[in-house]
A and B are shown apart, each in its own frame.
Chain A
């Protein structure tokens, strides 16, 4: 065993002490902390939110079909009493609704010229989709359908729809008896509102616009209820899933519902393809104004939205006072 000379022993001791001091200093360093004054005041109310809305630039087109199936009938094999294109621009959080009059005389693939509402009878919702795609050149992403009973139940499941009834209605056939103004309609009354055409000056055109009005009301109400209680989203999604027939998976229903909560319902354009009536082979049919149809369809195709310049006059204009 060798003995270190005195100078080396001293050097080793100094090194040891230095090492200990250095190690202590490193170890004792406080972790970095965000530099800021310590606030001793209470926090202001704060809000954090994440809603997984769709934000793609591609428009989403959903064909909404109302079957005239009575409670004991299959919704897929009757006629389509109401047909609407719901067009959503996720990126801009905006939407448009375009109604297609049920008696529109159009080419139905594989069937020939007939009223568009018969497409449902001949080939179910898929044939209605094909017919509308051929008519408008718009590719539908999804379809959703209800019948009379399921529509009523859907409305009742969300505790009714708050609708601004635009004018008085007094129609025995549909049992639509309403004063104008904002009111909550239960399923029975919402169906009456949606079916009334006898006391509307433009008949089915005006009715189609009112059906779109219910959709806008639903959108506004979903948004309002979601903002107040986000869990209401489940009630709406479940109501739709239980009572509707659709190609939308539950994930997609929720995605669209979340996206719907971001849409400003007041800015939704609700229009109906205009046209006139004619008799074809003893049938009273609607002949659509081809120029307006093309204009609206092309406008929807680029971004899913409808410019003011392409919005046709409301078929209920005489009742709306201008």
Chain B
């Protein structure tokens, strides 16, 4: 009896070299890895055009005000403590605004996840829903070429508990930046408001009230910016 095709196939297996099966798979993997590396992960690197680092930025910080709750508080000691609190919180606000407005690897790719780590859980939920007000916005990468920080200020009021421990800080923020659009026009970014911070695993934002009042502007003069944008 002549064996059918199946029987032939099973009785007369052809030997395919193992290398011929493994090599393409390995090469695909290597290809993907090399390209991801060249592109610097998500959006960075050589081939993908790369995102420049955020421009250096620091808020100008005004002297902090202590708000005591004890009738016989040592105001001098509390003032010094309020300054220390301001010193602790300022990097958080610096990072918040850098992540929200200045870091191209965030705004170019609608990736603002880092922004919300500054918020306590309840406040974070609302903050995430207010992304367009609290950040450069989801479509910023389509609109803007560069964003340069301008003169921005922080002022602090720190509420102390009756034992003289810092309880709540209110940070008043005025943040300014100039964004150059892809069409060559400029937008002045203005974020102004207050953040309440409490101590929840370190200082975190528990309440906020922030307004955005952006407006058209002219190309900035070199002295108007606190830093030069590294991008061309």
Q: Which residues of A are at the interface with B, using a C-beta cutoff of 8 A?
A: 4, 8, 11-12, 15-16, 18-20, 22-24, 26-28, 31, 33-34, 36, 38-40, 42-43, 45-52, 229-231, 233-235, 237-238, 241-243, 250-251, 254, 258
Q: A40-B181, A51-B209, A233-B170 are in contact. Are A46 and B132 (CB under 8 A)?
A: yes
Residues of the B chain whose Cβ atoms lie less than 8 Å from the Cβ of A241: 69, 162
Count of B interface residues, CB-CB < 8 Å: 68
What is the distance, in angstroms, from A136's C-beta to the closest C-beta of chain B? 31
Among B96-124, those with CB < 8 Å from A are 109-110, 122-123
B122 touches A31 (CB 8 A): no
Q: List 19 A-B contacts (CB under 8 A).
A: A4-B17, A8-B17, A22-B28, A23-B27, A23-B28, A23-B29, A23-B32, A27-B31, A36-B142, A48-B212, A50-B126, A51-B209, A52-B206, A52-B207, A229-B194, A230-B196, A231-B157, A234-B170, A241-B162
Any A CB within 8 A of the CB of B161:
yes
Closest to B185 in A: A40
A19 touches B28 (CB 8 A): yes
Contact with A along B191-232 (1 / 0, CB 8 A): 001101000000000111111111110000000000000000
Q: A8-B17, A49-B210, A234-B159 are in contact. Are A42 and B216 (CB under 8 A)?
A: yes
A250 touches B161 (CB 8 A): yes
Other than the given A24-B31, A27-B39, 12 more pairs (CB < 8 A) read A15-B20, A19-B23, A22-B28, A23-B29, A26-B32, A38-B142, A38-B182, A47-B211, A48-B193, A230-B170, A233-B170, A234-B67
B209 touches A230 (CB 8 A): yes
Residues of the A chain whose Cβ atoms lie less than 8 Å from the Cβ of B207: 50-52, 230, 258
Residues of the A chain whose Cβ atoms lie less than 8 Å from the Cβ of B109: 31, 33
Q: Quick one: which of B23, B32, B161 contacts A16, CB cutoff 8 A?
A: B23
Closest to A150 in B: B71
A15 touches B27 (CB 8 A): yes
Report Cα–Cα, A39/B47, bound state, in Å: 27
Smallest CB-CB A-B distances: 7 pairs: A23-B31, A27-B35, A19-B27, A48-B130, A38-B142, A241-B69, A48-B133
Report Cα–Cα, A43/B170, bound state, in Å: 27
Report Cα–Cα, A22/B41, bound state, in Å: 18
B216 touches A48 (CB 8 A): no
